[in-house]
Amino acid sequence: MDLSNAVWVFIGCSLSGLLTALTGIPMYLRRQSLAGDALAHALLPGVCLGIWLSGYRDHWLVYLAGTGTGLLSIALINAIQKRSKIPEDGATGISLVLFFGLGLALLSSMQRAGFGNSGVQHLIMGKAAAMLPSEVYVLGGLFILALILAWLLFRPLWLFCFDPEFAQSSGMPMRQTEWFLNLWVALVVTASIRSIGMVLTAALLITPAAIGHFLSFKPKYMIGISMLSAGFSGALAAWWSAYQPGISTGAAMVVLLSLFAFFVLLAWPNLGYLSRYWISQLEKKRWIQENILKELWKARGLSDQELAFRCGISDAKSLRIKRSMVQQGLIDKEKGSWTLSRLGQEKASSVVRRHRLWESYLHERLNLPADHLHDNAEIVEHLLTDELESRLEAILSKPEQDPHQSQIPYKKS
Amino acid sequence: MESKPIVDVHNLTAGYRRRPAIWNLDFQIQEGKFTGILGPNGSGKSTLLKCLLGQITPYTGYAHLWGQNVDKVRHRIAYVPQKESVDWNFPATVMDVVLMGRYRPGRFWQRLGKKDKEAALYWLEQTGMNHLANRQIGQLSGGQRQRVFLARALAREPSLLFLDEPFAGVDAGSAERILHMLKLLIEQGKSIVMVHHDLVSAGKILDNAILLNTRLVASGPVSEVFNHENLSATYGSDLSILSDVIDLVTRNPGRFKDPRNQKS
Q: Which residues of A touch B152 (CB under 8 A)?
A: 166
ipTM of this complex: 0.88
Q: A323 with A360: CB under 8 angstroms? A: no
Contact A218 B162 (CB under 8 A): no
Instruction: Read off the pLDDT of residues B210-221 as tens digits, 9 standing for 90 and up.
Output: 999 888 988 999
Q: Which residues of B touch A30 (CB under 8 A)?
A: none
Residue B260 belongs to some domain of the structure: no
Give residue B261's pLDDT band: very low, low, confident or very high (50, 70, 90). low
- The mean pLDDT of B224-252, rounded to a whole number, is 73
Specify the pLDDT at position A1.
46
Give residue B1's pLDDT band: very low, low, confident or very high (50, 70, 90). very low
Specify the pLDDT at position B2.
53
A88, with CB counted inside 10 A (0-12, 13-18, 19+), is middle
Specify the pLDDT at position A311.
86
Containing A168, the helix (H) or strand (E) segment is helix A164-169
Residue B261 belongs to some domain of the structure: no
E strand map for A225-334: 331-334
Q: Which residues of B touch A166 (CB under 8 A)?
A: 79, 81, 100, 152-153
Q: Which residues of B touch A170 (CB under 8 A)?
A: 74, 78-79, 101, 103-105, 156
How many domains does the structure of chain B reveal? 1
Residue B85 belongs to some domain of the structure: yes
Chain B from 204 to 243: CB within 8 A of any A CB: none
Contact B79 A161 (CB under 8 A): no
Which domains, and CATH codes, for chain A? 5-268 (1.10.3470.10), 274-340 (1.10.10.10), 344-396 (1.10.60.10)
Over 90: is that where the pLDDT of B78 sits? Answer: yes
Q: List the domain range (segments joined by +) for residue B182.
A: 5-251
Contact A169 B162 (CB under 8 A): yes
Q: Which residues of B touch A158 (CB under 8 A)?
A: 92, 96, 100
Specify the pLDDT at position A115.
67
Specify the pLDDT at position A364.
87
DSSP B32: T
Q: Which residues of B touch A167 (CB under 8 A)?
A: 100, 103
Cβ count near A60 (within 10 Å): 11
Question: Going residue by residue through chain A (413 aa), what tens digit of pLDDT does each one get?
Answer: 456 778 888 898 899 999 999 999 999 999 888 888 888 889 889 988 888 888 777 778 888 898 999 999 988 998 898 888 888 889 999 999 999 999 989 888 888 877 655 566 677 777 777 778 888 899 999 999 999 999 999 999 999 999 999 999 999 999 999 999 999 998 898 888 877 787 788 888 999 999 999 999 999 999 999 999 999 999 998 888 888 877 888 888 899 999 999 999 998 888 889 999 999 999 999 999 999 999 988 887 778 888 888 888 888 888 899 889 999 988 888 777 888 889 999 999 999 999 999 999 989 888 888 888 888 888 889 988 888 888 988 888 888 888 888 888 887 76
Residue B257 belongs to some domain of the structure: no
B122, with CB counted inside 10 A (0-12, 13-18, 19+), is middle
Instruction: Read off the pLDDT of residues B159-215 as tens digits, 9 standing for 90 and up.
Output: 999 999 999 889 999 999 999 999 999 999 999 999 998 877 888 889 999 999 888
How close does chain A come to B243, measured CA to CA in Å?
22
Q: Which residues of B touch A84 (CB under 8 A)?
A: none
Site from B85, B88, B90, B116 to mutate, A interface, most A CB atoms within 10 angstroms: B90
Residue B264 belongs to some domain of the structure: no
CATH of the domain at B190: 3.40.50.300
Residue B155 belongs to some domain of the structure: yes
How close does chain B come to A387, measured CA to CA in Å?
18
Residue B262 belongs to some domain of the structure: no
Contact A213 B91 (CB under 8 A): yes
Chain B from 31 to 70: CB within 8 A of any A CB: 53-55
Contact A159 B111 (CB under 8 A): no
Q: Does B85 touch chain A (CB under 8 A)?
A: yes
Residue B166 belongs to some domain of the structure: yes
Give residue B118's pLDDT band: very low, low, confident or very high (50, 70, 90). very high
Share of chain B above pLDDT 90, in %: 61
B94, with CB counted inside 10 A (0-12, 13-18, 19+), is buried
Q: Work out how many CB contacts closer than 8 A connect A with B.
A: 86
- CA dist B108 to A159, A405, B160, Å? 11, 66, 22
Specify the pLDDT at position B40.
85
A267-A268-A270-A276 Cα dihedral, nearest 10 degrees: -20
How close does chain B come to A221, measured CA to CA in Å?
10
Nearest-CB residue to B136 (from A151, A172, A217): A217
Contact A169 B86 (CB under 8 A): no
Q: B138 with A218: CB under 8 angstroms? A: no
| Nearest residue in chain B measured CA to CA from A216 | B91
